[in-house]
Structure 1
Amino acid sequence: MRVLLAFIIGFISATAGAESLTAVQWLDKMNLAMKTLNYQGTVIFMKNGQIETMKYRHSVDHGVEQERLSSLNSPMREVTRKSNEVTCIFKETSEKVINHHPLDSSFIINMPSSPASLEKSYSLELAGQESVAMLPAQIVAAQPKDGLRYPRKIWVNTQNFLPLKVEIYALDGHALEQVMFTELNTQTVAEAPAGNDASDKFHTKHIHSAQAEPLDQATFILNHRPEGFEPVFFIRNSIQQSQKAVDHLLMSDGFSTVSVYLESKESEGIEGLHSLGSVNSFSKVIDNTQITVLGEVPAKTVELIADGIALRH
């Protein structure tokens, strides 16, 4: 009874000072907390009918963010992020893959640098308060202004403004995926992420993305780009084994990302829609070029973008 009473008192005191915040202000404070606080806990990822529990830790060292996810399921693996460098360690095969990526993005939730920009594409509203992992949370709901992206809800801790839970919903309302802390603790001392020790035991492979280029240098034109989806980067990569060039454009509306890939067509081209949970892709062939649009968006979004792609001549 005392524990419950203490929790209720804590909930009331924590929310009292935040009653006047708008949905955008909640997300602003969450963005800042995610990038500047040291915290750790246990996270459950639910996606495509699979559930995975992982230990999570976030730290900041001299302004540089570091994240670590350690699998609690078999096979054992670990993923770390230091700014935009992502390292995957597969302990069973003694492999380490280091991906040098131009995008700096959290493992927990994609967020734009300015949450106010989300209002171009989403209606942001406060949707009540609940407790997650025995911590008080304000729910922020993001409802798309069109049918080209998914609705979502974010549970924000009212005490330190960290995200406690994120749910993404299909257009018919059923849950597609969820990320949820079952425990979350803040800490004041930054620590170096695990996974860098005994690196000589692992076979290391580096994946370097090419230098970003202006989008007008691309070999294609986007005629149908949904409102709110802005280019993040455009790069030209070369697959080492075949030396085949692959053009890659990444777009984002702040929450969702969509990739456009162009490469030379194989003997048998790929066409049509393919879906896996919240991720949809649409492929088509123009002349000898294979085009694929892939993203965590509804099927009609990738099909719309793909239908509007034309090659530059």
Structure 2
Amino acid sequence: MLQRLLFLLVVFSSSVFAEEQGGLEWLEKMSRAMKELNYQGTVAFMKNGQLDTMKYSHAAKNGVEQERLLSLNSPMREVIRDSGKISCTFKESQKRIVNHRPVSQSFIIDLPQQISQLAAVYKIVVSGEEAVAMRPARVLDIQPRDDYRYSRKVWLDKQRLLPLKIEVYDLNGAILEQVVFTDLSVEPQIPFLAIDNHEGDMDVQHIHRVQSESFDKIPFQLHNLPVGFNKVFFTRMSMHQSSQPVEHLLLSDGFSSISIYLDEKTEDMEVGLQNVGSVNSFTRIIADSQVTVLGEVPAKTVEYIAQGITFN
């Protein structure tokens, strides 16, 4: 009897491993397709009770990408991601903001450089097949292995391996965010757009990334850090109205990002838990400083991390 139970346990464990490995492999293929293909379509972003429909295009050539979003409704705006910068143009006010920093994350879905790292904190399996935008799709069910992060589903185009739909769910299973293509086409070539920052009466503002500093310079310790969240970068920025620089540490588990801000204490700062849509934040006072932890993660996550912060 014991031998039979052990045999069934081995068979079941092998089956589960194969299922999860298959889910990771489809996610790997999707990541490559998103970077290498030329594609365009209409995409709807639903978040915080608001719907935003935009034209989307992705151009790729010799390993270089350009991604573009163009709004279909007011306020009219265009967002372009190039290697090294993101520019946002507001058509009605004739303003453009150019953020000079390398960004590899797509507008459609955040993915880590190493997909395999997700396996430690997410269970990823193929849960079925459905149609999105009249295209057959595999459904990838992405479940966290703890309740410090949100679950997701990705509808993956069976032919082109591109994401057709993404949903993010809260701990009760309610939809927090949805991104869905209503039409999508893959093209042999999509031309790169040249951005002229000197055109007409356009008011152009350039934002240059603050140089990332060594993690050794972080002035605090994280005693409560959920498994899988790793440090991405740390910056220190001087502010005109403050004698103390604002320090920012970014954490990520591959899907979810969390920011920790250390700033000078202000009288009007609200402490405790705050919520805006899918973003939760927790602020507490430590000595003469205020620490804020925020991200698109459950409320318990930001509070847990914040309560475990101590100064060096």
- Normalised TM-score (structure 2): 0.89
Structure 1 residues 197, 207: closer, same or farther in 2, change over 3 A? closer
> Structure 1, residues 159-205: CA drift from partner, whole Å, max 9, x if none?
11110000000111111110000000111223123654763431111
Q: Secondary structure at the match of 2:231?
A: strand
Identity rate of aligned residues, in percent? 50
Distance 1:195 1:284 in 2: 43
Counterpart residue number, 2:304 = 304
Stretches of structure 1 that go unaligned for 5 or more consecutive residues are 1-18
8 Å contact from structure 2 (residues 197, 204) kept in 1: no
8 Å contact from structure 2 (residues 242, 264) kept in 1: no
Structure 1 residues 104, 84: closer, same or farther in 2, change over 3 A? farther
Distance 2:282 2:68 in 1: 32
Q: How many residues in Structure 1 have an aligned counterpart in Structure 2?
A: 294
The amino acid across from 1:258 in the alignment is: I
Counterpart residue number, 1:183 = 183
1:195-210 to 2 correspondences below 5 Å: 196=196, 199-210=199-210
8 Å contact from structure 2 (residues 45, 51) kept in 1: yes
Q: Secondary structure at the match of 1:119?
A: helix
8 Å contact from structure 1 (residues 61, 190) kept in 2: no
8 Å contact from structure 1 (residues 269, 285) kept in 2: no
The amino acid across from 1:61 in the alignment is: K
> How far 1:103 moved relative to its partner?
4.3
Distance 2:293 2:71 in 1: 30
8 Å contact from structure 1 (residues 293, 305) kept in 2: yes
Stretches of structure 2 that go unaligned for 5 or more consecutive residues are 1-18
> How far 1:237 moved relative to its partner?
2.1
8 Å contact from structure 2 (residues 81, 103) kept in 1: no
Give the superposed CA RMSD. 1.9
Distance 2:92 2:295 in 1: 30
Counterpart residue number, 1:9 = none
Distance 2:194 2:78 in 1: 9
8 Å contact from structure 1 (residues 284, 292) kept in 2: yes
Matched, 1:295 2:272: no
Matched, 1:54 2:24: no
Structure 1 residues 301, 229: closer, same or farther in 2, change over 3 A? same
> How far 1:267 moved relative to its partner?
3.1
Counterpart residue number, 2:148 = 148
Counterpart residue number, 2:268 = 268
Distance 1:41 1:117 in 2: 30
Structure 1 residues 182, 291: closer, same or farther in 2, change over 3 A? same
8 Å contact from structure 2 (residues 83, 102) kept in 1: no
1:205-220 to 2 correspondences below 5 Å: 205-220=205-220
Structure 1 residues 126, 262: closer, same or farther in 2, change over 3 A? same
Matched, 1:79 2:79: yes
Matched, 1:38 2:51: no
Q: Secondary structure at the match of 2:224?
A: coil
Counterpart residue number, 2:130 = 130
Distance 2:199 2:288 in 1: 43
